[in-house]
Amino acid sequence: MVSGVGVTLLRLTKALEARGHQVRVYSASYALPPGQADRPEVHRSPSIPLFLYPDVQWAFPRMRDILDDVAGFRPDVVHVATEFALGLAGMKAARQLKLPLMASAHTDYDKYAARYGVDWALRVGWHYLRWFYGQAHRVLCPSRIYQEHLHARGVTHTGIWSRGVDPKEFHPAFRNQGYRRSLGLDPADLLVTYIGRIAREKNLTQLVAAWEALAGERGSAQLALVGRGPLEDEIRRRQIPGVHVMGLMHDRDLAEAYASADIFVFPSATETFGNSLLEAMGSGLACIAAGAAGVMEFAQHGRNAWLVQPNSAPALAQGLRRLMHDPVLRHRLAQGGLATAATRGWDGVYDQLLDDYQDAIENRRMIQAA
């Protein structure tokens, strides 16, 4: 997995199966780790790397194959989590088989377009997105903040599919001194960590600039970047003192990467929620984040996070400086983050999602009975 969306959908699949539901997943083709078999519920379509973002595969679904597979599976509801090729295939299959359709929105295309210099595509893009979302019974948003954004764009038949954190997966108890020693840290040294895509839209260039600006005052502190993305090789090549590019991590390794840090830094201003920030809170970290977009759903300045001006390397450097030199503040933010995480379990999230699915199913029955 290379994105929060992919992790969210994998988690959803496991949660629904644990509750006794059957799930069929339609995905692009991604290379699997050596020796790892594909999950049995996955149907993959041919795909090629996206030219703007090679880590993302662009699928070319064969509509007849998709339609036959969906018909054989006989789902109660179809949930599309992408607005493009596979999402269109899912929408068409639902329409032809007269199945209820739910959609979920995961990406702030306005901010991404600005970041990649394709703002000119937004007018046509939103014309298409309004049409696409209009085919669904409801469009689920990860935060009320992004829901308001969709409303402003004319998409008003929305609901909330929030995110949670599981203390069995992310917890301070996973702190690992061996992991810290592998980065050259003594017990008293500070470890600053970012976890997420290593990409331009996550403001990683600003984070690196902020780190370099602190070169004369960060002492033995180290910065670990965990994840994968287009900037990964470039940052490695630069060999910036104190910066470690750790690659992609999963499961217990990921939990240890979180909990073994002292400060979590999240510079992205394009989030529709900010899964990593909530997981860092659940891991007991003092968090610094850009005060923008979906993280504002749960991040409160001075209580569970230190919020800084978005899209500003100097503001990020100033915030890092404050946290690195103020252990009392770090402790207060860490405790506030743990309290926030304790109120955001997954059970309520999935209860609401299943209610939304049932509402779509009942609405389809009423239409067919009319």
- SS3 readout for the chain: CCCHHHHHHHHHHHHHHHCCCCCCEEEECCCCCCCCCCCCCEEEECEEEECCEEEEEEECCCHHHHHHHHHHHCCCCEEECCCCHHHHHHHHHHHHCCCCEEEECCCCHHHHHHHCCCHHHHHHHHHHHHHHHHCCCEEEECCHHHHHHHHHCCCCCEEECCCCCCCCCCCHHHCCHHHHHHCCCCCCCCEEEEECCCCHHHCHHHHHHHHHHCCCCCCCCEEEEECCCCCHHHHHHHCCCCEEEEECCCHHHHHHHHHCCCEEEECCCCCCCCHHHHHHHHCCCEEEEECCHHHHHCCCECCCEEEECCCCHHHHHHHHHHHHCCHHHHHHHHHHHHHHHHCCCHHHHHHHHHHHHHHHHHHHHHHHHC
Q: Is the pLDDT of residue 310 over 50?
A: yes
Q: Is the pLDDT of residue 230 over 60?
A: yes
- Pair 28, 201: CB distance under 8 Å: no
Same domain, 106 and 197: no
Same domain, 113 and 209: no
pLDDT tens profile 134-166: 999 999 999 999 999 999 999 999 999 999 999
Distance, in Å, from the CA atom of 34 to the CA atom of 245, rounded to the nearest integer, reads 22
Average pLDDT over residues 330-359: 98
Strand partners, 288: 265, 306
pLDDT tens profile 4-18: 788 899 999 999 999
Same domain, 219 and 82: no
Distance, in Å, from the CA atom of 245 to the CA atom of 265, rounded to the nearest integer, reads 14
Same domain, 260 and 316: yes
Distance, in Å, from the CA atom of 368 to the CA atom of 247, rounded to the nearest integer, reads 50
Same domain, 90 and 201: no
> Quick one: angle between helices 313-324 and 327-342, nearest 10?
100
- Pair 146, 295: CB distance under 8 Å: no
Question: How big is the chain by its Cα radius of gyration, in Å?
Answer: 21
Q: Is the pLDDT of residue 285 over 50?
A: yes
CATH code (residue 138): 3.40.50.2000
Average pLDDT over residues 244-264: 97
Average pLDDT over residues 264-287: 97
pLDDT tens profile 45-87: 999 987 766 778 889 999 999 999 999 999 999 999 999 999 9
Q: What is the pLDDT of residue 1?
A: 40
What type of residue sits at position 322? R
Token readout for 296 is 């504002």
Same domain, 157 and 265: no
Distance, in Å, from the CA atom of 264 to the CA atom of 286, rounded to the nearest integer, reads 6
- Pair 278, 291: CB distance under 8 Å: no
Neighbours of 282 (CB within 10 A): 25
Q: What is the pLDDT of residue 2?
A: 52
Same domain, 177 and 125: no
Q: Is the pLDDT of residue 316 over 50?
A: yes
Same domain, 203 and 332: yes
Structural domain boundaries, residue 55: 4-164+346-369
Handedness of CA 257, 263, 268, 273 (dihedral sign): positive
pLDDT tens profile 191-207: 999 999 999 899 999 99
Q: What is the pLDDT of residue 52?
A: 64
Distance, in Å, from the CA atom of 144 to the CA atom of 158, rounded to the nearest integer, reads 10
Average pLDDT over residues 206-210: 98
Number of domains comprising the chain: 2
Q: Binning pLDDT at 50, 70 and 90, where does residue 346 land?
A: very high
Average pLDDT over residues 166-176: 98
Average pLDDT, the chain: 95
Distance, in Å, from the CA atom of 182 to the CA atom of 71, rounded to the nearest integer, reads 51
Same domain, 69 and 136: yes
Same domain, 13 and 39: yes
Q: Binning pLDDT at 50, 70 and 90, where does residue 267 land?
A: very high
Same domain, 180 and 327: yes
Q: What is the pLDDT of residue 57?
A: 85
Same domain, 19 and 128: yes
Select the more confidently predicted residue: 1 or 157: 157
Q: What is the pLDDT of residue 111?
A: 83
Q: What is the pLDDT of residue 203?
A: 96
**25-29, 264-268, 301-305 — which is least confidently predicted?**
25-29
Q: How many residues does the chain have?
A: 370
Q: Is the pLDDT of residue 114 over 70?
A: yes
